[in-house]
Amino acid sequence: MKHLVVLICISTVLLSSCMKKDSAATDTTMKVDSTKQKNIDTYKVVQGMFSSGKMDDLNKYIADDFNEHTPWPGQKPGLAGLKEGMTGFRAGFPDLKITPKEVTSDGDWIFAHYNMSGTNTGSFMGMPPTGKKIDIDGMELIKLTNGKATDHWEYNEGRKMMEQLGLMPPMGAPPADAGKTMPAGKKG
């Protein structure tokens, strides 16, 4: 009987120490999951701001000294440059819609795959409106510091967009002047 009591006591101590370790691991996992979800939610909020054109609160999510590693032509630096660029883009595509497709986060990084669609009914990069629709995908990598985006890299189907707008020939299509001959005595 004495051995049974000792065995129960030892089992209780071991079980309780395992539970404390598991509890600590669960707390850490919950904190990581909470940060990951907060980053994903932040990304979706910012994309919603871009889609709606209501960007007044961007400074809550993006640092003033924001660094765009893949800037648009002529994009100014920082948060002010991002706002100006997005405002200009939305002027060209007033019905712009950015839809996150896949978003994940790891520590201070956000990785995202999105879809962007809209109709070019306004001036875009100095070009007159085409009235044509775009529907392209893109991917982003965003670095966060203290909960705000500080760095951004992006790849999107820019060429596909230009093709959809009729501003570039489709890949592999012959040039518009293919088969035309140069007048005699002229060099190309």
pLDDT digits (tens, 9 = 90+) for 23-77: 555 555 555 588 899 999 999 999 999 999 999 999 999 999 999 999 988 999 9
Predicted local distance difference test score (pLDDT) of residue 126: 87
Structural domain contains residue 76: yes
Which 3-state string (H, E, C) describes 88-133?
HHHHHCCCCEEEEEEEEEECCEEEEEEEEEEECCCCECCECCCCCE
The answer to whether 119 and 131 have CB atoms below 8 angstroms apart is: yes
Domain annotation covers residue 19? no
Q: What is the pLDDT of residue 42?
A: 93
pTM, 2 dp: 0.74
Residue 6: inside a domain, yes or no?
no
Tell me the two tokens of residue 163.
Answer: 């093709």
Domain containing 121 — which CATH number? 3.10.450.50
Each residue of 72-92: b (16+ CB within 10 Å) or e? beeeeebbebbbbbbebbbeb
The residues with which 142 forms a beta bridge, in sequence order, are 110, 152
Q: Which residues in the chain come in under a pLDDT of 50? A: 4, 6-7, 9, 11-15
For 79, the domain range is 33-164
**What is the predicted pLDDT for the residue at 6?**
47
Determine the pLDDT at residue 155: 97
Count of domains forming the chain: 1
In a domain, 87, yes or no: yes
